[in-house]
Copies of this chain bind each other. A is one copy, B any other.
Amino acid sequence: MAVEAVFSAIGDPTRRAIVERLSRSDATVNELASPFSMTLQAVAKHIRILEGAGVIRKKKIGRSYHCALNRAVLTEARSWLDDLERDWSDRLDRLGDFLAEDAKSDRPAQ
């Protein structure tokens, strides 16, 4: 599916917190919202974005909505990073890193 949507979904700190929370246990929308100072509606919006990206699934049980992570999509995101690192490593094995000497300084170039 869309790795596109996944990264942009977990790019938001609130949504990453929700995802982390769900990695520990499934939870209802209310349970997910309670740690935040924002309104339930705001959190519900974030949840819908995560749902739209396929990061989580939601299911109505009684009058509450239970949420759970969708492993497949998260695995896809990880694969994107895996592939990236592999391509990068392969290339370095062949060519060497012309920026290697600067690797220690984190400062942006000027």
Contact = CB atoms under 8 A, between A and B. Distances in A.
A25 to B, nearest CB: 4
Contacts of A61: 103, 105
Interface string A60-85: 11000110110100110110011111
A66 B98 contact: yes
Q: How large is the interface on A (under 10, 10 to 19, 20 to 34, 35 or more residues)?
A: 35 or more
Contacts of A103: 57, 59, 61
A84 B24 CA distance: 9
Interface string A8-46: 111111001001101111111001000000000000000
Contact of A91 (B23, B52, B66, B97): B23
